């Protein structure tokens, strides 16, 4: 059984396995003083396309190699990545059953343009939690008696998860099933109520 408290990072429209973990957690400790690390889902997500998985990354000011606290990482807006990411979401999910239900709010999230990456991740987390009826709460500090737990599934190995949650995907007949994509994939394909049921299943 997963812990009732979790000390970890937040993700950019997190992977299905990560959101499943949050859904079974009461309190999430998100330490914004933790040093930023690259090669994670903090600024990346993976969506499904007719050509297979597509990795989308949020550019940050100063590049991904800097060793500064997460609370100091600023989003770069000198390139129109928000429009590009939203366009990719629309082009690949507009035929999904629940696209019309979610895409307007997602467009608003991209239009918000917060200065810091952690602020954007918190906004996304709140939106995702609402859609799947999650009950976890976020505390922006290091807990006294809980060890930091990095998500084991990262952009280089996310699809190697065993026993992934299975559901009908938009391009499954062409690409085969793509496991552990962004939570957006299961929301667009199944809707929040069914996604909640799938995520809470043993």
Tens-place pLDDT, residues 157-179:
999 998 999 999 999 999 999 99
In DSSP terms, which residues pair with 57 in a beta bridge? Answer: 44
pLDDT of residue 151: 73
Range of the domain at 157: 5-200
Are the C-beta atoms of residues 60 and 75 closer than 8 Å to each other? yes
Tokens (6 digits) for 53: 């998985």
pLDDT of residue 165: 97
Q: What are the C-alpha distances in Å from 201 to residues 24, 81, 122?
A: 10, 35, 25
Per-residue pLDDT reduced to its tens digit, 74-83: 999 999 999 9
Greatest distance between any 2 Cα atoms in the chain: 49
pLDDT of residue 145: 67
- pTM value > 0.85: yes
Choice among 66-70, 78-82, 183-187 with the minimum mean pLDDT: 66-70
pLDDT of residue 146: 64
């Amino acid at each position: 059984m997963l812990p009732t408290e979790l000390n970890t990072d937040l993700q950019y429209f997190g992977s299905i396995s990560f959101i499943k973990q949050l859904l079974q957690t009461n309190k999430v400790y998100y330490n914004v003083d933790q040093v930023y690390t690259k090669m994670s889902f903090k600024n990346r997500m993976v969506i499904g396309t007719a050509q297979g998985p597509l990795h989308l990354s949020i550019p940050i000011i100063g590049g991904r190699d800097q060793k500064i606290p997460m609370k100091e990482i600023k989003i770069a807006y000198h390139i129109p990545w928000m429009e590009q990411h939203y366009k990719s979401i629309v082009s690949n999910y507009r035929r999904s059953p629940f696209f019309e239900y979610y895409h307007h709010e997602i467009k608003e999230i991209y239009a918000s343009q917060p200065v810091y990456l952690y602020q954007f991740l918190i906004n996304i987390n709140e939106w995702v939690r609402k859609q799947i009826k999650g009950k976890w709460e976020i505390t922006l500090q290091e807990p006294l008696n809980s060890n930091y737990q990095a998500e084991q599934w990262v952009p280089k190995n996310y699809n190697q998860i065993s026993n992934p949650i299975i559901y009908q995907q938009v391009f499954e007949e062409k690409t085969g099933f793509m496991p552990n994509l962004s939570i957006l994939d299961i929301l667009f394909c199944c809707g929040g109520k069914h996604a909640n049921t799938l995520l809470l299943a043993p």
